[in-house]
Each structure stands twice: as C-alpha cells, then as structure tokens.
Structure 1
Amino acid sequence: MFKGNIVALITPMNKKEKICLKSLRNIINYHIYNQTKAIVSLGTTGESSTFTHQEHIKLVLLTIKLSQNKIPIIAGTGANSTKEAVLLTQKFEKSGISACLSVTPYYNKPSQEGLYQHFKTISENTNIPQILYNVPSRTGCDLLPQTIYKLSKLKNIIGIKEASGNLSRLNQIKYLVDKNFLIFSGDDSTSLDFMQLGGNGIISVTANIAAKEMSKICQLSLSGDFSQARKINKKLIKLHNILFLESNPIPIKWAAYKLGLIKYNTLRLPMTQPSKKLRKIISTELKKKKIYTTKKNNIFNLFKKK
C-alpha cells in the first residue's frame, strides 16, 4: 500500500496559527480523490519543527480521523533525541497509524554507530512500521548504505525516504537490502529517474498541488511505462525546481494558497512569507499550467459538506 505517490502534506493553519480544520479536511479528500497512496502528516513539509508535542499528536490523530480509513496516514516522529523520538512514536500505538517516518537526528551529527543505535532503539520500543528518512542537507548527517542495510534487518524497519539527491545511492542501497525493503525518493525533480532505477515511489512536495499528475507518473513508472510518465513529468519539471527556490514549505504553501487549496497562507516563525520575486515566479508558472486546481473550481467546492 506504500508504493507510488505519497504526499508530504502541508499543515493548513488559520490566521492565529491554529489548525484550519476545513482546509485539512478538504486537502485530505483531495488526495483521496486523486489516488495518492498515503499521507505523511507532520514531516518537514508539515512544519513539524514548529509544533509542540501536544499539537503534533493532536494533528496526526485528527488527520487519521478525517481520513476515515480511506488513505493510509504516516506520522512524522523523528527527533534529535532518541528518547524523544521513542516517546513520540509510542503515542501513536493503537491509533490506526500505518507507519512512522523518522528523520535522522539533526544538529547532533551522530556517527554511523550512533545512527544505528538511535533507530534500533526506536524499533525495539514500538510495533509500528518505521520508514527511515535521510536528508543530509537539513540534518547535517548522512545515513550510509551499510548502516541502512543493518537497520533493514530489524523487525519493523520497512523502508527509507532517501533525500540525498544522489541517484547512485539508490543502487548502493538496493544491492544490500532485501527486495521487499521500500526505497522512496525524497526529491521531486529526480523522482522519475529514481523510480526508473528501481525505486518504489516518491514522498512528494509537488503532490500537494499536483496530486493527480504525481499519482499518474508513479502509476506509469511502477508499471514500466516510463515513456508516458516522462511526458507528464516534463510538464512539472520547472515547478519541481521552483518549489525549492526558498526553504520548504514556503513555496508550496504559497502555491496551495494561490490555487485555493488552503484558506490562509499561514506559516510559523522562523518560516516567513515568500519574497515578492518568488510569488511572481510561482503565480506565473501556475497560470501557464491548466492541470492544477483553480479558485474557480477549487477543492472546497468539490468536497463541500452537504
């Protein structure tokens, strides 16, 4: 159930920086409607680093409830303290969560042995399936293939989101791990090449506003039709890059707001509004494309409660 297009969901908030329930309900329905395979709640794109533990737990549980068992929910539960990561993960035991996404400890710069012991400790203290998350550009440490291999042997570590941007890393990991170990791209711009090399899908930022297209690209790729997948992906290449001109989730949240997918473009400090230059670039690109949801026929109209 985890193969294909998985969205790293933005967290819609109102002007008071509280969860916007209406927006959350509707973007979940948007992904169900467009055949997104799973939702990651409160990963990097969801602004997890600015949420308290209490808010974090509340939002994930709310996302599970609103999904009504129609789409798997994966909770972001990573932390740079192993004890904190364990406690956060344990909060979702028996919650209906499908898996947890656990980022490598940031700032600490642990050794490979430290990384192994960190994830091993989490694994030993939960029954929830765990997906590792390697994003060296943000965390300051790199989970290497040999360490991933060792971790893949543990009882409930089922895969990895590999966001180093290094395509050769995929082959290095695949050579070592069992064929059932899932390997997801964490980089939209190279995700098609990643799947062509044998990856199982993408945990995507772009899917927040182009869920239908990202789902189709993954569906075609996983069935071996890379020619058709590349035709669709060609329309998204520029957008993939634009959405990372400033720190994620600043660009994607602005784009979702412009398209009417969320009611307010609220971010928590230290995340700030996009620059005027970036707003213009995003708006221009969205106007050029006719494949996205528009305010005239937006998600709020499509899923308006009766």
Structure 2
Amino acid sequence: MNEEVRDAFLPLTSVSSGKGSLVIPDVFSYTNQIVNLCFAMNKNEDWVLVDAGMPKSKEKILEAVQKQFGQEHPPKAIILTHGHFDHVGSVEELATYWDVPVYAHHLEFPYLTGQEDYPKGNPKVDGGMVSEMSPLFPNHSIDIKEFLEELPSDGTVPFLTDWKWIHTPGHTPGHISLFRESDRALIAGDAFVTVDQESLYNVYTQKQEINGPPAYFTMDWNQAENSVKVLEQLKPSIAITGHGVPISGNKLENELLYLVNHFDEVAVPKIYQNKENE
C-alpha cells in the first residue's frame, strides 16, 4: 500500500467513533472515527465487510468484528464502495490477515492498483473546516492488486445473493452502492451522506441531515446528481451512508427527494454552479 495512505494520522473523530449497531437484522454498521463500515450477513451466517475504514484501524476493526461474530469468523470478502483513503485505510492489512478477496468496480481499479491518484481535496468548496483541511488528506492510490477482483458484471454481490450493486459514479468514477429489493435497504457509500461532511462541528456531533457527497473529494457533479436520482427512484426504506448515522422512513424519503429537487443549491459548491465540471 502507498505509505502516505498507510501511515496517515488523521485526528478527525466523532461522537459515534467505536460504536456500532444492528441497523437491520443482518447488517451491522460500525463507525471508525468518521466513516462507517458495514458487516453484511447472508442466510448461511457468512458475511462480507463493506469498506475498510481509516488508516491504522485494523485492530479496532478486528475488535468490532470479534464482538459481533466471535473470535474465528472472518468475512468471505471485502466490498469497496470506492477507494478514498477513509474507505480503504485498513484494507490491505485486513485482506492479508483474513486472506480474502477485495471486490470493486473496474473504474476504481486505477486508484487501487497504484496507477492513478485521486485529485487533491479542494478547500474552496464553500464548506467548513474539514474542507479547508482536505488538501492534507491522502489522495494517493494504493496497490492491492494481489487481492483485487472485479465486481460481477450482472450486478450480483459476491456472497450476498439478495443484494445488487449499483454503479453510482460522481464522487469517484467507480463508486458503487448496494441495494436489496426485498426490504429496500440501501448501503449508499458516499453517493449521499447523512451529515454535513464539510463542517468539523457537524462531523463530530453527527447531526443527522441528508447532504450530497463530500464536496471536497467529489470528481464529477453531473454524475453525482444523476446517481442521487437513481438511488431516490429505488425508494429505499433505510440507508446506511459512508458518513453520518443511518436514516429511515419518512425522514429518508423526504430529505432524499429534497436533495434530488434542489441538488444544485444544496450539494454543488458555488465554484461549480453554472459551469461545466472541472
């Protein structure tokens, strides 16, 4: 793994850090500093890890897994919604420890095989302190090709037969979300989030409100808007997002529809409004 990602120390945290809950009977959400990971189970009591948290978090994640499943119950795989540092920070260490494959969308591969770096964080997205700090966040690619496998082209999710993956680009080119039709459960990654991720205060307090993807790292706002529309049309009953607390029911329905209808004013930074994406 790129040393600048692996060795990054980021003192960002939230009141939810180290806590977790069984959001629905077979999906456990765990907060690692400021980012959420999911332990998603199937009918055979096997499970997969969705995203891999912050750098230097292997031991904390393993502790959470042990509390949930017991000492010897490794996942069948790791699924990545995308490759930003806070979602892959411990992926190499965990994949090595468990000896499991890591699945991602093929458009995310350049950032997961050492070929291409993400753009640096943009401090000019009219956000708060987190935005201003974002150029200091690791934007470098990692190299996990030893473990990396492409998600099936038919939309199925390895080891989770009831789930489908959906390409939701914009935040990154190969960003995906996971959806289950039977109960309309959504694991959204950073396609949208339930906290104002640009504000240090809101990140810490985890005040619940639907926002667009973290602006300082979002690469294509036209695609990001379309992805939110795609997810809203699924009419999810509950959503676990990459940042913020899970949201459900009328609050999810109403706020997600509002985001769709006011995406430009709510999500898109002023520096990008009425301009083509840079």
Q: TM-score range by the shorter chain?
A: 0.3 to 0.5
Say which structure is richer in helix.
Answer: 1
Larger C-alpha radius of gyration, 1 or 2?
A: 1
- TM-score w.r.t. the length of structure 2 is 0.33
- TM-score w.r.t. the length of structure 1 is 0.31
Q: Which of 1 and 2 has higher RCO (CA within 8 Å, sep 6+)? A: 1
